[in-house]
Amino acid sequence: MPHTGYDARGGDIPPERYAVVSCHVERPLDDAVWEAFRRFQAGRPGGFRIAALVRPPDTAAAAGEAGAARAAVWLERARFASEHGPFGLHTHFGGREHGRARPGDPEPADRVRAELATLAGHGLAPRFFCGGNWYLDERVAGVLAAAGLADCTATAFTPRHLPAGAVRLALATPAWLRIAAPGGAGPVPGVPGVPAPPARLLELPTTHSLGMTARAALSPAAPRTLHCYFHDTDLVVPSRARALAVALAVLGRRRRPLDLDELAGVMASTAPEVCFGG
Ligand SMILES: [Zn+2]
């Protein structure tokens, strides 16, 4: 079967070589950062519909009248991002400055459940998730599976800032993760001793940072599915913004640009099933 659409980009590109791009939208309430992200996402660099994985405002910081005004701005910007690409939730389990939970912070699964409920209350329906500082546990995975999201927290690389031994999910290629705690709820309520049936979470690992993407864009050795991520704050550092724009332009010519929704659609029927955590 001919693959229409490939010939225009170069007939030598194997059709199964995909690339997707997601952005951790960390500072949507910072006007300069937001404006840089808004323009970048709307411009579809390299032909990519960039997924916005957006961090909700801290509940504590959103209290009061000023907080309400900021919440309205956040909502308007989240809606814009969701209209220009796949939309996801990026949870910082320890608040704005802390991707991972610290002692005394809410239980991660409870935090995710609460943030999803808040987004739903505003009519926002995230399809994707990425845990702050690459944190995901099986209870969080259960909440995501129950809510029908796909996850992007697994990484194909070892994140630089994680201490040795920190909990993380290492995965190089998309997979269905079989999890034992659907909805994070544990056993079936009211049925002692009967575990809930296993649920599955579609995992679309993040495979390349900005720097790795720049190096991999030209490499035939890069994986079949390349998932590049960057931070919105990268876009206000001119050298990083330029490097990203160039890398995506090259990547978009060398691979088929998909968005996360399209990748999820492809992988839902073809990804293998593995147990959570290997
Ligand atoms: Zn973050």
pLDDT for 60 equals: 55
pLDDT for 63 equals: 60
Interval 154-183: pLDDT, tens: 999 999 888 888 889 999 999 999 998 655
pLDDT at 115 over 50: yes
pLDDT for 197 equals: 57
Give the Å distance between the CA of 187 and the centre of ligand 1. 31
Give the Å distance between the CA of 37 and the centre of ligand 1. 15
Give the Å distance between the CA of 13 and the centre of ligand 1. 34
Give the Å distance between the CA of 97 and the centre of ligand 1. 8
Give the Å distance between the CA of 6 and the centre of ligand 1. 35
Q: Which of 3-7, 101-105, 136-140, 154-158 has the lowest mean pLDDT?
A: 3-7
Alpha-carbon gap, residue 248 to 21, rounded angstroms: 9
Give the Å distance between the CA of 55 and the centre of ligand 1. 7
Give the Å distance between the CA of 8 and the centre of ligand 1. 37
Structure tokens belonging to residue 151: 């996850």
Give the Å distance between the CA of 130 and the centre of ligand 1. 8
Q: Which domains does the chain have, with CATH numbers?
A: 18-159+168-275 (3.20.20.370)
- Looking at per-residue pLDDT, the higher value among 142 and 65 belongs to 142
pLDDT for 11 equals: 44
Residue 89 pLDDT class (50, 70, 90 cuts): very high
Alpha helices by DSSP H, the chain: 31-42, 64-83, 108-121, 138-147, 210-216, 238-254, 260-268
Alpha-carbon gap, residue 136 to 151, rounded angstroms: 9
| Cβ(131)–Cβ(99) below 8 Å | yes
Alpha-carbon gap, residue 224 to 221, rounded angstroms: 9
Give the Å distance between the CA of 129 and the centre of ligand 1. 11
pLDDT at 184 over 80: no
Give the Å distance between the CA of 26 and the centre of ligand 1. 6
Alpha-carbon gap, residue 211 to 208, rounded angstroms: 8
| Cβ(131)–Cβ(140) below 8 Å | yes
Give the Å distance between the CA of 19 and the centre of ligand 1. 21
For helices 31-42 and 238-254, angle between their N-to-C axes, nearest 10 degrees: 20
| Cβ(33)–Cβ(233) below 8 Å | yes
What mean pLDDT, rounded, does the chain reach?
87
Give the Å distance between the CA of 147 and the centre of ligand 1. 21
- Looking at per-residue pLDDT, the higher value among 119 and 12 belongs to 119
Give the Å distance between the CA of 52 and the centre of ligand 1. 12
- The pTM (predicted TM-score) of the whole model is 0.88
pLDDT for 10 equals: 43
pLDDT for 61 equals: 56
Give the Å distance between the CA of 150 and the centre of ligand 1. 17
Give the Å distance between the CA of 160 and the centre of ligand 1. 14
Span 145-157, average pLDDT: 96
pLDDT at 194 over 60: no
Percentage of the chain beyond pLDDT 70 is: 85
Give the Å distance between the CA of 247 and the centre of ligand 1. 22
Give the Å distance between the CA of 131 and the centre of ligand 1. 8
Interval 211-262: pLDDT, tens: 999 888 878 777 889 999 999 999 999 999 999 999 999 999 999 999 999 9
Residue 185 pLDDT class (50, 70, 90 cuts): very low
